[in-house]
Amino acid sequence: MGSNLALLFRPLSFAIGALLSLVIAFAGFGAKGLEGMALGLIATAFSVFGTKGAISVAGRSIVAGKVSSGNAMLLLFFLMKLPVFAFAVVIVYRLGPPATGAFLAGIFLVYSALTGWATVQR
């Protein structure tokens, strides 16, 4: 069963799931739903990858005892995640009601996929 779950949580599966969720948001809520879902997926993925990058930089820096310029860029990416997410929230609330629900669904999808991926990695 573990190998079947590992196949489900591959990058291609995530991309297909994201595209499918965008199509469903557009079909159900129109352009505002599509915009809200896209912003939710992008902002949350940006946040997740920023956190992952910061954790890996911290681990490498502790082992190596120094920080390279590439590692510094990853830390900057981590620090930018909150303003990017806040900016996406402001845009979504200005778009209106269908976009807000789709945005929240996008956040839920990314964190659900992250939880599934982490479970398979154990």
User: What is each CA distance from 72 to 54, 65, 84, 99, 104, in whole angstroms?
Assistant: 9, 14, 18, 35, 31
Looking at residue 116, what is its pLDDT?
81
Helix residue spans in the chain (DSSP H) = 2-8, 11-64, 69-95, 97-121
Q: pLDDT tens digits for 77-112?
A: 778 888 888 899 999 999 998 999 999 999 998 888
Comparing 1-5, 35-39, 54-58, 115-119, the range with the smallest average pLDDT is 1-5
Q: What does the domain layout of the chain look like in residue ranges?
A: 11-121
Q: pLDDT tens digits for 35-88?
A: 999 999 999 888 888 788 777 777 777 676 776 777 777 778 778 888 888 899
d(CA 109, CA 87): 20
